[in-house]
Amino acid sequence: MNAVLALPIIAPLVGAALTIMFRHSILQRIISFTALSISLISAIIITVDVSRDTDIAVSRLGGWPANIAITLVADRLAAMLLLISVSLLVIVLCFAIGQGARDEHSPIYHPVYLVLAAGISQAFLAGDLFNLFVAFELMLMASYVLLTLDGTDKQIKSGVTYVVLNVLKSLLLLTAVGLIFAATGTVSMSELPELLAALPVGVRTGLNLLLLVAFGIKAAVFPLYFWLPDSYPSAPSSVTAVFAGLLTKVGVYGIIRTETLLFPGNQANLLLWVAAFTMVVGVIGALAQSQMKRILSFHIISQIGYIVMGVALGTKAALAATVFYLMHHIPVKASLFLVEGIVERETGETEFDKVGGLARRSGFFALLFMIPALSLAGIPPFSGFLAKYSLLRAGFDGDQWLIIGIAIAVSLLTLISMTKIWIGLFWGEIMPPVPAERVGILRHHQLMTLSSAVLIAGTLGVAFMANPLYEFCVGAAEQLINPMMYVKAVRGS
Amino acid sequence: MSFLLVVLIGVLFAAGTYLLLQRSLTQIVLGIGVLANGVNMLILATSARQGTPPIVEGNEPPFTDPVPQALVLTAIVIGFALTAFLTALAWRLWTIEGHDLVEDDIEDRMVARRLISDHHRDVRDREDVDIDSSEDGSPA
């Protein structure tokens, strides 16, 4: 088990080094796929291992004792997020190759993409806070480069906001980690729960809030969300899909760890308000937009609200719903951005008044948008309904009527803005005009459509296999609500 | 931890924050550098367990805790890379724009401008009506 846990981090990093050395584009693709496949296989092995029994997989690099070694820990939540992330990264890489855009041909695209993969994997597996900080930096550094890869006017301008805000976040996170180390003498997440619980309440709250602000900036929760709609839309669609699906979720992962492992239930009320405002602000922002990429970017924010709501409720059922929501949300959100990428590639535009009639051109393509869009809004047969239903049921159990009302209203508004995209892009006359032989969309973008279709099939899979998957999530919630399971697993190994 | 160090950390944080709030990217980069140094000082000053230098032969425990220094060393390297990247961004912005001022979101600006021009049109229309109704009387 030891070596397997390190593979999702090491394989992409080695791949990144190799792709820097070999700049031939075919060779780079082969190396990238090999590296990510190794990650994927080890992620599958880890997930299977963790889900058989409620075991938590632990690996101490170099075989040092627990308080000295760099510890990698995979409980159910981490293993699941790892598996989903790596699968998404593979699919989006296929999409980027199919897109044939300028950025994928850039010789640094593949190395940076692989570093991003390593950073995300490390963030989920990190067993101590400082390692988590380093993982964030690895991931963010790669994301800065991907976001500004073209070096165009617009990308640089929005890149500046993104980079400065995230550097500020990094410094806050480092301050929090440093102060936690000063207060307790350790950064290991297996030793912190007991030591933090022994601190005076003022110090505890201060450290907790500092961590929450740092992770909150990354997760784009209210009132720290403003950088996201400015920066995400200017990146190429394949990059935005990864950012939307994974980067904000790493921030959410940080919030979940802070609130369940380090400071259990400390700021529940605050988080509940944050969740409510995040949902509302995100969806209202989306309603005001008239461009598909910007609408989707605002919806990232609003969906984060639902996930934070589950964390704030904090019961076992709510945490299970949160984990299930993450499982549903990552592929759905990413596939919407992939569909947007196909539209952009085909028509060159995603403004509503410049594009139209896509459903007339290809019914199947319209279906590719419709499934994740309805799923995002929470319409019954799709995964979004199950995720929202379980979350709301957890809210009923806790008698949180206000937040339930807000959550339902927001999902209605989500449906409205999805309908807005549908009316704007898929209905009406075909715009811009195309020659008769080029009416079909799928034929011209086979690899892009195929990879989007695989991802959407994955979201349908989440809906059809909901029962066993939900049981897995309940197991994950059990581990989250009993921090001692985590602590014992790391110490006992 | 000496009082002087605490004051220094405070000054570094304050100066860094002030510089971060400026419009020019060069100043922001400097602010990030100052703030990062403040954080590094904070870690070193708050969490170092005093003692003799480790590894050196003949020294007796208690040793100085090497962990904070390892943390800070990593943080310095990361900070260096970030500063380099931000400087490159500032240079790129300068070659494109001729200045390195951070702008507002373009989309937001357009929405705001649309609102302002709508407002002006409304006001103008209203004033026109006023002028029409008071043509023979005193100036509007």
State which amino acid sits at residue A468.
P
pLDDT surpassing 50 at residue B139: no
Confidence label for B104 from pLDDT (cuts 50, 70 and 90): low
Decide: A155 and A147 in contact? Cβ < 8 Å.
yes
Residue A104: burial class (beta carbons within 10 Å; 0-12, 13-18, 19+): buried
- Segment of A437-446, B14-23, B49-58 carrying the highest mean pLDDT: B14-23
The confidence band for B132, taking pLDDT boundaries of 50, 70 and 90, is low
A163 has a chain B CB within 8 A of its CB = yes
pLDDT tier, B140 (very low <50, low <70, confident <90, very high otherwise): very low
| Contact with chain A for residue B105, Cβ under 8 A | yes
Nearest-angstrom CA–CA distance, A441 and A445: 7
Note whether A178 contacts B43, CB cutoff 8 Å: yes
**CATH of span B3-103:** 1.10.287.3510
Can you give the pLDDT at residue B131? 59
pLDDT score, position B137: 46
What is d(CA A330, CA A326) in angstroms, rounded to the nearest whole number? 6
Interchain contact, A156 vs B93, CB within 8 Å:
yes
* Contact in structure between A433 and A417 (CB atoms under 8 Å): no
Residue ranges of chain A with pLDDT lower than 50? none
Q: Please tell me the predicted confidence (pLDDT) of residue B133.
A: 56
Which single residue is written with the structure tokens 């990593």?
B74
Phi and psi (nearest 5°) for A186?
-150, 160
CA distance A31 to B99: 40
CA angle in degrees (0–180, nearest 5) for A93-A36-A81: 90
Indicate which of A140, A164, A234 best probes the interface with B, i.e. most B CBs within 10 Å of its own CB. Answer: A164
Range B1-17 average pLDDT: 90
pLDDT digits (tens, 9 = 90+) for A77-128: 999 999 999 999 999 998 888 877 666 678 888 999 999 999 999 999 998 8
With beta carbons less than 8 A apart as the criterion, state whether A317 and A395 touch.
no
Grouping H, G, I as helix, E, B as strand and the rest as coil, residue A74 is: strand
Model confidence, pTM: 0.89
Domain range list for chain A: 2-492
What does the domain layout of chain B look like in residue ranges?
A: 3-103, 104-140
From the CA of A78, how many Å to the nearest CA of chain B?
24
Question: Does residue B62 have a cis bond before it (omega within 30 degrees)?
Answer: yes
Query: How high is the ipTM of this complex?
Result: 0.85
Query: Does residue B12 sit at the A interface (CB-CB below 8 Å)?
Result: no
Q: What is the pLDDT of residue B138?
A: 46
> pLDDT digit string (tens) for A187-226?
888 888 888 888 899 999 999 999 999 999 999 998 888 8
Q: Which of residues 195-234 of A touch B (CB under 8 A)?
A: 229-230
Residue A154 sits at the chain B interface (C-beta within 8 Å): yes
Best A130, A132, A138, A157 member to test B by mutation, with max B CBs in 10 Å, is A157
For residue A55, the model assigns a pLDDT of 75
Contacts 24+ apart (CB under 8 A), A439-446: A439/A361, A439/A362, A440/A361, A440/A362, A441/A342, A441/A346, A441/A358, A441/A361, A441/A362, A441/A365, A442/A362, A442/A364, A442/A365, A444/A346, A445/A98, A445/A99, A445/A342, A445/A345, A445/A346, A446/A98
Residue A222 has a pLDDT of: 85
Query: Given a cut of 60, is residue B136 above it in pLDDT?
Result: no
Angle (nearest 5°) at CA A247 between A188 and B25: 100
> Which element (helix H / strand E) includes A60?
strand A57-60
Q: Does B36 touch chain A (CB under 8 A)?
A: yes
Question: Is B49 or B38 the better-scoring residue by pLDDT?
Answer: B38
User: CB–CB of B92 and A174 under 8 A?
Assistant: no
**Nearest CA among A266, A179, A174 for reference residue A215:** A174
